[in-house]
Structure 1
Amino acid sequence: MSPAPFTLGPALLFCPADRPDRYAKALARADAVILDLEDAVAADHKEAAREGLLAHAIDPARTIVRVNPVGSPEHDADLAALAGTEYRTVMLPKADGRFVGPLLAPDGGPYAVVALCETAAGVLAAPALAARPDVVALAWGAEDLVASLGGTSSRAPDGGYRDVARHARSAVLLAAGAAGKPAIDAVHLDLDDLDGVRAEAVDAVASGFAATMCVHPAHVGAVRAAYAPSDAAVAEASELLAAAERESDGGVFALAGHMVDGPLLRHAEAVLRRAGAVRTTPGAPAAASGEQIAAQPANDEGDRP
C-alpha cells in the first residue's frame, strides 16, 4: 500500500519540536508545519522534543515530522515516539542510499516520506529515492550539502546560490518531476531578507516546485504571495485556454502575435491550478500583497515558531 499523494503547501513552516507551546501558532500561520526533531533541537533536548510530540497533538493532516537521519542514535527513538501519535508524514533528513527499507507506521503500512536530499550522496540518490512508492516528495537543502563537500558557504557574496547548490536544486527538481512526485524548495536563512525569500519563491514556482520550506512566520506570506498567480496571469491563462478551445484542429495556433502550442497550454493549466489551490488549505492565511509582506518584521522573536 502506497501513501496518498503529497498535496501540502505552498508554505511549510518549521517549528522546533521541543517548543510545543509554538506548535498551534506555527500551524495557524502556514499551510503546514514541520515539527523538527533534528537540527532545530539541541542534543540534550531530544527527549523533551519527543515528549512534546506525544503530549501536544495538532492536525495530523497538516503536519510533517522531521526525524533524525537513518543510522543516527536518535532515529529509532524518534520512530518509537512517532508511533504514539497520529502523524503519518515524515521528513527524512540526509536521505541517501542508506534508506533501504520503508518506515512502518503502527498499522503496518509505510509512513509517507518526504526525502530531504541535502548531502552529495543524497543528491546523487535523488532519482532512486523519488522512485520509491513510500516517498511522496523530494526536498533539498543547501547548507548540509555544502558541509558534506567540505565547503563553507552555499551562497556567493551577492546572496545568490553558488553553482553547486543551484546544480543540486535542479537535480532534485528533475528527479522528482521524472517520477511524478512534487519537489519542495529549500529554506532562506536570512530572516530579514523578505525580498530574497520572495524572489526565490517566484523562481521556485516558475521552475516547477510545489512548495517552499520556511524558517520564520514572516516568510510564509512572501512564499504564499509568490505561489499565488496574479489576476493578470489568471486572465491571460484563461484567455489562452479559451482560444485553444475555439481552435478546431487542436494544433498550433497564433494568439496576439505569439505562437501557442501544447507546452504553453500546460503552463496555462498550471497557473489556473495554482489559482484554485492557493486558498484551499483550512486555517491557512491568505497570500499577502507585496506591500503587506514588506511591512512585516522578520526579526521579532515573539513571532518565531
Structure 2
Amino acid sequence: MTTALAPRTALFLPASNARAIEKAHGLDAEMVILDLEDAVKPALKDEARAMAVAAAGEDWGARILAIRVNGRGTAEHDADLAAVRDSACRLAVLPKAESPDQVAAVIAALGGARLIAMIETPRGVLNAAAIAAVPGVIGLLAGTNDLRAELRIPPVASRDSLSLALQSIVLAARAAGICAFDGVFNGLDDADGLADEARHGRALGFDGKSLIHPNQIATTALAFGPTDAELADARALIEAATGGAERFRDRMIEAMHVDQARALIARADRP
C-alpha cells in the first residue's frame, strides 16, 4: 500500500455482525476493517474471531481487508494474533500501540502480516515516530476518541484541542514513508460536520479517514479526493513547467510542485 494509493475511506465493521459483513461487499469503502475489539461484546469475542477468519477467505475485490485485534493485555489478544496469522488476511490493526518493541513483537506474532498501528494514548503520540519506523508497519491511525479521553479534553471541545497529537501522527507517518489515517467522526446524521472534519483531516496531511457507518463513505471520499479544480490546476501546472523556478499563474513553482501535481493526479486515477 503506497501513500499515493492509500485508502481514503476505512470502514470499521463489527466482526460479529454477519449481515454487515455481507453488505460490505457492495459498499464503496476502499478499506474494510473487521473489528474484534470495541465493537464486539465480550460474550461474542470467540464467534467474532471465527467470523473474521471466514470473511477473510472471501473475495473482497479491490478493497483492502484488515482485522482489528484486541489489544495487548486482554484475554483475546494472543488468540486474535494467531487467527490473523493463519487466515487469508494479511493486514492487522493494533489498538493502543505505545512502543516500538510492543509493535515489533505483534508483527513477529503475525508471521508476515502487515500492521496499522493505532495511536490512541499520550505515550503512543510521543513514540509515534519510533512506532512508524518498525518494519512491517504500513500506517498509523489516529484513535481520536481515546485520545480525547486520555488527554482529558471535554467532549464539547473543538478538534483544535487535538492539533498537536494529530500533527505528530502525520509527521511520524511521513518521516517513515507510510500512510496516515484520521480518526472516526461520531455523528451519524451530521453530514456537514463529517465533511468539515474530513476536509480538516486532509488539510493536516492525512491520506484518509476511519469510519463507523456506511453513510459516511461518500462524504469522506469526496472530501479526501482531489476536486475537479485541483486536478485541472495540476494538469495545467505539469504542462506549463519547463524546469527550475518559474511563474505559473499567480505563484512560483519548481520541481517539487510538479511532483505534487503528479501525485495528486495518480491519487485521482487510482483503480
**Residue matched to 1:206:** 203
Q: Distance in 1 between matches of 2:267 and 2:159?
A: 26
Residues 17/84 of structure 1: CA separation in 2 closer, same or farther (3 Å cut):
same
What's the RMSD between the two structures over aligned residues? 2.1
Tell me whether 1:268 sits opposite 2:266 in the alignment: no
**Residue matched to 2:159:** 161
* 2:58 maps to amino acid: I
Q: Distance in 2 between matches of 1:217 and 1:42?
A: 21
Query: Is residue 85–residue 112 contact of structure 2 (8 Å, CA) maintained in 1?
Result: no
Secondary structure at 1:99 match in 2:
helix
Deviations 1:24-72 (A, max 9, x none): 3124211121000001111121112112123344346621100011222
Secondary structure at 1:187 match in 2:
coil
- Give unpaired runs (5+ residues) of structure 1: 281-305
Find 1:28's aligned residue among 17, 21, 26: 26
Query: Is residue 102–residue 110 contact of structure 1 (8 Å, CA) maintained in 2?
Result: no
**Residue matched to 1:58:** 58
**Residue matched to 1:12:** 10
Q: Distance in 1 between matches of 2:261 and 2:200?
A: 17
Percentage identity across aligned positions?
Answer: 37
Secondary structure at 1:47 match in 2:
helix
Residues 239/20 of structure 1: CA separation in 2 closer, same or farther (3 Å cut):
same
Offset at 1:84? 3.7
Find 2:137's aligned residue among 127, 135, 140: 135
Secondary structure at 1:136 match in 2:
strand
Residues 99/271 of structure 1: CA separation in 2 closer, same or farther (3 Å cut):
closer
Deviations 1:75-95 (A, max 9, x none): 012123223420110000000
Residues 239/55 of structure 1: CA separation in 2 closer, same or farther (3 Å cut):
closer
Q: Distance in 2 between matches of 1:103 and 1:12?
A: 21
Bigger drift between 144-153 and 233-242 goes to 144-153
Offset at 1:110? 2.4
**Residue matched to 2:122:** 120
Q: Distance in 2 between matches of 1:59 and 1:139?
A: 25
Residues 73/264 of structure 1: CA separation in 2 closer, same or farther (3 Å cut):
same
Secondary structure at 2:70 match in 1:
coil
Secondary structure at 1:173 match in 2:
helix
Deviations 1:197-246 (A, max 9, x none): 122222333332222111111110001111222222211111111111xx
Bigger drift between 226-235 and 64-73 goes to 226-235
1:136-285 correspondence to structure 2 within 5 Å = 136-153=138-155, 155-156=156-157, 160-163=158-161, 165-244=162-241, 247=242, 250-277=243-270, 280=271
Offset at 1:150? 4.3
**Residue matched to 1:286:** none
**Residue matched to 1:284:** none
**Residue matched to 1:46:** 45
Query: Is residue 202–residue 226 contact of structure 1 (8 Å, CA) maintained in 2?
Result: yes
Find 2:105's aligned residue among 101, 105, 109: 101
Q: Which has the higher helix share?
A: 2
Offset at 1:125? 1.1
Q: Distance in 1 between matches of 2:174 and 2:109?
A: 27
Residues 258/149 of structure 1: CA separation in 2 closer, same or farther (3 Å cut):
closer
Q: Distance in 2 between matches of 1:54 and 1:270?
A: 35
